[in-house]
Amino acid sequence: MSRVLTTRTDFFSLGTELRIGKLKDYLETLKKQLEVITKDYEKDIEEEALKIENKHARDEFYELSGEQHWDYTKAFPRILLNSFHVMAYTLLESEIFSDV
């Protein structure tokens, strides 16, 4: 007599797949919004910089706006992806252990 190890073939339920799909949509929406905000910010900075006639003052303006630009292009996307990773991991972990 042989023993057969049964495994769950439908690892994720349909509800989980739908939630994962919603998470992907959420991530895409946030990324698009961040891109729009960044482009708007860059446009506003350029418009403001054109109003400054003094080159030294314009350079200072760019220097001051650089930190916020860095936030939009580097810091916020990294925070967004890290937060998304935690949400996705939590969802998967809760689904895996829900049957235990």
pLDDT tens sequence across 9-62: 455 566 777 778 888 888 889 889 888 988 998 999 999 999 999 999 998 998
How far apart, in whole angstroms, are the C-alpha atoms of residue 81 and residue 75?
A: 10
Residue 37, domain member (yes or no): yes
- For residue 99, what are its two tokens? 């049957």
Rg for the chain, CA atoms, rounded: 23
100 burial via Cβ count (<10 Å: 0-12, 13-18, 19+): exposed
79: domain range?
A: 15-97
Q: Single out the residue of 48, 99, 88 nearest to residue 69, CA to CA.
A: 48
CB 91 within 8 A of CB 19: yes
Residue 8, domain member (yes or no): no
The tens digit of pLDDT for each residue in 64-77 reads: 888 888 888 888 88
Selected residue with higher pLDDT from 95 and 85: 85
Residue 4, domain member (yes or no): no
Per the structure, the count of domains in the chain is 1
